[in-house]
Amino acid sequence: MDTLASFHPKVVHFAIALLLTYVLFEFLYLIFKKDFLNKSATLILFLGVLGALASLLTGNQAYHYAEYLFDNYDVKIPLGAIDHHEEYATWTLFWFLGILIIRFLLNLKDKFRGFLQAVVFTLSLVGVYLVYETGEHGGELVYKYGVGTKVIEKGIVPDSISTPSQNGDNEEEHEH
């Protein structure tokens, strides 16, 4: 996995951390109404959206790599489960991008306060759910199906760990 796909597990955690940190700063700004919290929330959200975009791009490469293994090496990869993960990831990116655009426009017009601020915070909480679901589906791919691990690259599915690998080795895989 020498492509961008190998960066997906690394990049995705930055996006998760930044987007969830943004929601915290949005909450703090809602409570304390300090300008530096507003600016910090906007910057963290912007970086989170960039991280989500990088996660989506690297995840797309990982999907193509999974298809390649599935098609050419008869590796059992749950492409449908990957599709669910990708759908949530796409929704998450566009949801937070929408919030970023709304925040930017409201700040530009100096109308980001009161009811509109509460609406944006509520939208960000929906975004937390999307981040959770994306992570839940991604975690299932790794921990239930072994996608992206050395085990699956060798053609051994987690349900049959004691099965010899395709290269003729009879040793059991013990990588986690």
Q: DSSP letters of 118-136?
A: HHHHHHHHHHHHHHHHHHH
174 pLDDT band, cuts 50/70/90, is very low
Amino acid in position 43 = L
Within 10 angstroms of residue 107's Cβ, the number of other Cβ atoms is 15
Compute the distance between CA of residue 133 and CA of residue 74 in angstroms, rounded to an integer. 29
Q: pLDDT-derived band of residue 172, with 50, 70 and 90 as boundaries?
A: very low
* Tens digits of residue pLDDT in 90-125: 999 999 999 999 999 999 999 999 999 999 999 999
At 150 the pLDDT is 78
Percent of the chain residues past pLDDT 90, beyond the cut: 70
Q: What pLDDT score was predicted for residue 115?
A: 97
Predicted confidence at residue 60, as pLDDT, reads 95
CA distance 68 to 90: 22
- Predicted confidence band of residue 70 (pLDDT cuts 50, 70, 90): confident
17-20: long-range contacts at Cβ-Cβ below 8 A with a sequence spacing of 24 or more? Answer: 18/44, 18/45, 18/47, 18/48, 18/51, 19/45, 19/48, 19/49, 19/51, 19/52, 19/92, 19/96, 19/127, 19/128, 19/131, 20/128, 20/131
What would the two tokens of residue 105 be? Answer: 């426009």
- pLDDT for 3 beyond 80: no
> How many residues does the structure list for the chain?
176
Q: How many helices (H) and strands (E) does the chain have?
A: 5, 0
Q: Indicate whether 63 pLDDT > 50.
A: yes
Six token digits for residue 136: 């839940």
Q: Which pLDDT does position 30 carry in this prediction?
A: 97
CA–CA distance, 36 with 174 (Å, rounded to integer) = 49
Q: What is the pLDDT of residue 74?
A: 76
User: Are 5 and 62 spatial neighbours (Cβ–Cβ below 8 Å)?
Assistant: yes
37 falls in which pLDDT band (50, 70, 90)? very high
Across residues 25-53, what is the average pLDDT? 98
